[in-house]
Structure 1
Amino acid sequence: MTMHLDSPKIDVIYPDDCAERWDGYVDAHPKGSIFHKSAMCRVYSETRKHETCAVAARNADGNIVALLPAVRVETISGLASMIASRAILYAEPLCDDTAEGRYALAQLLDAHDKAVRRRTLFTEVRAMLPPGAERDVLEQNGYEFFDYLNYVVDLDRDRDQLWNSIGKQTRAKIRRSHRRGMTIEHDTSVAGVHRIYPLLRASYARSRVPLAGIDLFLSALRFVSAGEIQIRIATHKGRDVAGTVGLYYRDRYFAWYGGTTRPQGIDPFAAIVWDEIEWAHQHGLRFYDFGGAGWPDEDYGPRTFKSRFHGALVCFGRYRKVYSRHRLALAEKGYESLRALFSQFPRETATDGADNDRSPVSERKPK
């Protein structure tokens, strides 16, 4: 997607124009995340029903001063995509904390809105960190802020402190799962993707929430650095019963996707989460990010599960700009019908944490 800025002072560049310079800006920025990296932009561009809309602004000196990591996602294709498509930023936009940086970000947002508004319901920004210079720019450009929760575990403690901070019943379930023969494998491979995808599909189907195609995970395996993606699979009695896909960058481990068959008598998902936390701690990471815990005033089963690991409950929020209230109303009326197409299972309230916040249509709170 090509964009143009109404400013002679700022040029638009794309991740493929100069990946080294793009990633250098992300690496140097205090809020840079794996979702800003050129590799993740490539992952989404190679995934069906996803379109990378990521752009950065370069000043007259050739330096990047702002970056917008947007992805347009279609739930369904064709004419109906106008009421089933949204643009998502899986992390907040970046900008220099200067007048030039804020101006450049405002220009990027304006160009983005013009480019997607006719074929997209809204753009949503999913913040990972406390608000900074970007918040004022977002709000001044029509993006409304909403409270949204997350749990983040501080790993700067010894291993026993981390273990003992987990709820007593959850620790007992993890120990019991291992005693009963459950094992956890690290299988970050094409075979691992094909093993875990049915587990993800089962969990998302139970919640009647659409899941990205398997090509998202195959693309991630292909383009994300080998040291920045992990697949874990829990096996019991010869069957795969739970699995997660995690991403990590700098000092943060991010729980990206997870799924489970919910076997009786064991809790493989809790065991995998602890395995991720323990690994991240052993390798010197500082934070384990659960990837979202719902709207504050709504019951949300995965939040209950995530709370048992006693991370810090934070509220960095989300921002949303709606391009057509009429089309959004049509989409919301058809939402339950669309969800019925995604699953043959009745709706369940997840309590195992596997029904993640990564779906682009999983939450409807803003009005």
Structure 2
Amino acid sequence: MYEYTLLQQVTPDDERTINSFIDANPGFHFFQSPVFYKLSLTSKKLRPFFIIAKQEGSIVGVLLVCQQVQINLPFMRFLTSRNLIIGGPLVRNQDEPILNGLLATYRIKSPQSLYTQMRNIRDTTASRAVFLANGFGYEDHLNILVDLTQTEEELWKDMHSKRRNEIRRAEKEGCRVEMVATLETLTHCYDILTEVYHRAKLPLPDFGHFKVMLQHSTEKIGLRIFTAVWENRIIGCMLCIAWGDTLYDYYAGAYSRYYNKYPNDLLPWAVFNWAKMNGFSHFDFGGAGKPNVPYGVRDYKKKFGGTLVSFGRYECVHFPILFRLMTQLFKWWQCAKR
């Protein structure tokens, strides 16, 4: 018999038991952890909550959800809301009855939003029927994984020749990569990301999100800050998350006026080598768009090698008419900003 509970406030005891359960399950679970819950609490746009499954008092399943709101005004709050789940749920032995109970409880008890998006970072094919039965539709979505157990020579050879040439050019221009975990460095990186995401017309978490992530980082887990430096100026950055044997690409970008120094080419290569030397087995390059749909980010990432996988996404639209309306308004807004 399983018991399911919605936790909007997590006590120290809750945190310890959730961490113990997560530690007993190998894999990259940062986005389902109490650490990410705490980070989300600091954001004005996020409202995190857990759904916990227990059997005889012991945790057997965890689902961390973040309700995300883009415009925090009375009526617009709901219209610009979604529930975001990354890398979850996490279930003991992939037990389908537990997974079914977590999803069913989520559908009943979760705070309302326009839709729910679940971003997978592992293969869920074996349990896909359970998601579908609970009202979640599936669509393919690509990701790129880099095997860091290869030798440096193999990693270099796996890259596209043009990418190798641009790395050489970056080095010839005097561009170098540094790793400095300070608040000042993070501030410079956030300025870069603000320009990049404004240019792309995409939302970016507020600075406090990254600041708290840095504050909660340890030698084993958390934020790793890599910067591309040219003539003592930070011109590009790559913010990664360390967890277990995986280094995860979180946010990255460079000032457009310094593209001719090739910071976006040098950074991943330097990060691969750092991760390899520091005991990581995998580099998760993050999202690569939908199959058969042109996507410049995928083209850029794929030239660094790695394996293209499709872990996909699940989505459940709770208010279809409003969802279609807001989707169309967002497209119009993006066009108007160009």
Which residue of the other structure, out of 122, 137, 141, is the alignment partner of 1:144? 137
Deviation of residue 237 (structure 1)?
2.7
1:46 counterpart = 2:42: yes
Which residue of the other structure, out of 175, 197, 213, is the alignment partner of 2:168? 175
Distance 1:133 1:69 in 2: 21
1:334 counterpart SS class: helix
Residues 107-159 of structure 1 deviation map (CA, whole Å, 9 limit, x = unaligned) = 322232234463x1111111111116543322221111100001101111111
Distance 1:70 1:58 in 2: 18
Structure 2 counterpart of 1:112: 106
Deviation of residue 41 (structure 1)?
1.2
2:261 counterpart SS class: coil
Residues 188-217 of structure 1 deviation map (CA, whole Å, 9 limit, x = unaligned) = 121122110011111111111111111110
Deviation of residue 222 (structure 1)?
1.8
1:80 counterpart = 2:73: no
Residues 32-52 of structure 1 deviation map (CA, whole Å, 9 limit, x = unaligned) = 521122111111111111011
> Percent identity of the aligned residues?
24
CA RMSD of aligned residues (A): 2.0
Distance 1:297 1:21 in 2: 43
Structure 2 counterpart of 1:253: 247
After TM superposition, the structure 1 stretch with the greater mean CA deviation from structure 2, 275-284 or 89-98, is 89-98
Structure 2 counterpart of 1:298: 293
Which residue of the other structure, out of 200, 220, 237, is the alignment partner of 2:231? 237
Residues 275 and 203 of structure 1, relative CA distance in 2, 3 Å threshold: same
Structure 2 counterpart of 1:218: 211
Distance 2:200 2:252 in 1: 13
Gaps of 5+ in 1: 1-7, 347-367
Alignment of 1:182-197 (within 5 A): 182-197=175-190
Structure 2 counterpart of 1:357: none
TM normalised by structure 2 equals 0.92
Q: Which amino acid aligns with 2:106?
A: H
Does structure 1 conserve the Cα–Cα contact (< 8 Å) formed by 2:6 and 2:51?
yes
Residues 218 and 332 of structure 1, relative CA distance in 2, 3 Å threshold: same
Distance 1:172 1:83 in 2: 47
Structure 2 counterpart of 1:280: 275
1:285 counterpart SS class: coil
Does structure 1 conserve the Cα–Cα contact (< 8 Å) formed by 2:4 and 2:105?
no
Does structure 2 conserve the Cα–Cα contact (< 8 Å) formed by 1:210 and 1:339?
no
Distance 2:125 2:91 in 1: 9
Residues 149-192 of structure 1 deviation map (CA, whole Å, 9 limit, x = unaligned) = 01101111111111121111111111111121112221212112
Alignment of 1:62-141 (within 5 A): 62-78=57-73, 79-97=75-93, 101-116=95-110, 118=112, 120-131=113-124, 134-141=127-134
Residues 281 and 252 of structure 1, relative CA distance in 2, 3 Å threshold: same
Distance 1:32 1:166 in 2: 25
Q: Which amino acid aligns with 1:69?
A: L
Residues 67 and 112 of structure 1, relative CA distance in 2, 3 Å threshold: same
Structure 2 counterpart of 1:157: 150
Distance 2:4 2:55 in 1: 7
Residues 157 and 32 of structure 1, relative CA distance in 2, 3 Å threshold: closer
Distance 1:340 1:115 in 2: 37
Distance 2:180 2:269 in 1: 17
2:212 counterpart SS class: helix
Distance 2:324 2:197 in 1: 24
Q: Which amino acid aligns with 1:329?
A: R
Give the structure with the higher percent strand.
2
After TM superposition, the structure 1 stretch with the greater mean CA deviation from structure 2, 293-302 or 51-60, is 51-60
Residues 238-284 of structure 1 deviation map (CA, whole Å, 9 limit, x = unaligned) = 43211011001111110000121131422101211111111111122
Residues 295 and 210 of structure 1, relative CA distance in 2, 3 Å threshold: same
Distance 1:82 1:13 in 2: 21
Does structure 2 conserve the Cα–Cα contact (< 8 Å) formed by 1:13 and 1:58?
no
Does structure 1 conserve the Cα–Cα contact (< 8 Å) formed by 2:220 and 2:244?
no
Which residue of the other structure, out of 10, 18, 22, is the alignment partner of 2:18? 22
Does structure 2 conserve the Cα–Cα contact (< 8 Å) formed by 1:39 and 1:224?
no
Gaps of 5+ in 2: none
